[in-house]
């Protein structure tokens, strides 16, 4: 899959289908657009490198690219949500895509574009018809009586409602990170953990303990994931730490994928290390079920 930076002169495959949107989360609703695009010889998606609304990201750019690649896209155009892009009028934006030789534009029913998000899908349809470019506007996709949107999924993750969020995503919510040196409190208690780095823009579930998995290379393991500040040890920084039951390998420096399945409990400050150890044993047993 080729990755292009958005510019006023795009050199993308001619007559390709292009899906338009932010695509944060690459959820089931987004994939309905991709399904339409797959009927074309070549197709891709235009995505944001960041989030112009200032929200935490369900998927960072690297995570988003991985998911879109797995959907079979031939290329992706990355646009930075800066003044150079957000300052374009709707027609300027459209003209750049037209001049790049797109054969079909695909967007969701609520897609808005141009400076101040002034233009709607009606404008896109009218301009495409004028220039004999195929266009498809996908309608609302609902699950449990509500539209499947990134904002809805973001709210579920923020509340720790991971199983429902995973259903709307179509995969287990995850983060990509690298294993770094931590305080090693878990190792001292007999439960070594991998301290996972993550970017400030990444959305994390609420502090607490989660059941999930960790992928290291080609191997996948059941895992207990702790998010928080380790209040029993009065730690200062919020961390993501992963304990892999019955695993004794050295994973420092490894790039990993951490998947969240469900919340086991909230963060607790225990009165003693012994109480914490007893609870960790219960957490591990829950994660292994």
Q: What is the set of active-site residues?
A: 241
Mean pLDDT, range 151-165, rounded to an integer: 96
pLDDT of residue 83: 82
Burial 210-241 (b: 16+ CB within 10 A, else e): bbbbbbbeeeebbbbbbbbebebeeeeeebbb
Instruction: Give the rounded percent of residues in the chain with a pLDDT score beyond 70.
Output: 93
Mean pLDDT, range 254-259, rounded to an integer: 94
Measure the CA–CA gap between 120 and 104, rounded to whole angstroms: 17
Mean pLDDT, range 94-99, rounded to an integer: 97
Mean pLDDT, range 239-251, rounded to an integer: 86
In a 13 Å sphere around the CA of 136, the CA atoms on its Cβ side amount to 16
The whole model's pTM is what? 0.90
pLDDT of residue 268: 78
Mean pLDDT, range 139-152, rounded to an integer: 92
Angle between helices 121-130 and 90-99 (to 10 degrees): 40
Measure the CA–CA gap between 224 and 245, rounded to whole angstroms: 8
- pLDDT of 185 > 70? The answer is no
pLDDT of residue 272: 67
Q: Among 36-45, 51-60, 141-150, 226-235, which stretch is predicted with the lowest mean pLDDT?
A: 226-235
Mean pLDDT, range 21-28, rounded to an integer: 94
Measure the CA–CA gap between 8 and 152, rounded to whole angstroms: 33
Mean pLDDT, range 71-83, rounded to an integer: 92
Beta strands 255-266 and 174-180 are antiparallel
Measure the CA–CA gap between 236 and 285, rounded to whole angstroms: 28
């Amino acid at each position: 899959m080729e990755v292009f930076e958005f510019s006023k002169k795009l050199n993308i495959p001619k007559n390709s289908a292009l899906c338009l949107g932010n695509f944060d989360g690459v959820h089931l609703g987004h994939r309905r657009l991709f399904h339409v695009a797959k009927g074309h010889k070549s197709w891709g998606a235009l995505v944001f490198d960041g989030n112009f609304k200032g929200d935490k990201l369900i998927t960072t750019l690297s995570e988003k690219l991985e998911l879109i690649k797995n959907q079979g896209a031939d290329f992706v155009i990355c646009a930075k949500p800066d003044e150079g892009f957000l300052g374009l009028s709707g027609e300027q934006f459209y003209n750049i895509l037209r001049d790049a030789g797109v054969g079909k534009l695909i967007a969701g029913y609520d897609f808005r574009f141009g400076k101040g998000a002034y233009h709607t899908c009606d404008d896109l349809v009218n301009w495409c018809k004028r220039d004999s470019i195929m266009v498809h506007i996908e309608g609302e996709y609902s699950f449990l009586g509500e539209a499947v949107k990134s904002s809805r999924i973001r709210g579920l993750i923020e509340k720790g409602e991971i199983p429902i969020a995973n259903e709307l995503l179509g995969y287990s919510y995850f983060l990509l990170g690298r294993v770094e040196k931590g305080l090693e409190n878990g190792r001292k208690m007999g439960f070594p953990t991998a301290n996972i780095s993550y970017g400030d823009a990444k959305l994390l579930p609420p502090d607490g303990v989660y059941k999930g998995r960790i992928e290291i290379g080609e191997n996948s393991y059941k895992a207990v994931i702790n998010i928080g500040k380790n209040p029993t040890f009065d730690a200062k920084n919020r961390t993501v730490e992963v304990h892999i039951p019955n695993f004794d390998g050295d994973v420092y420096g490894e790039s990993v994928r951490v998947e969240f399945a469900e919340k086991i409990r909230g963060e607790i400050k225990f009165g003693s290390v012994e109480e914490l150890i007893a609870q960790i044993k219960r957490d591990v047993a829950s994660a292994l079920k």
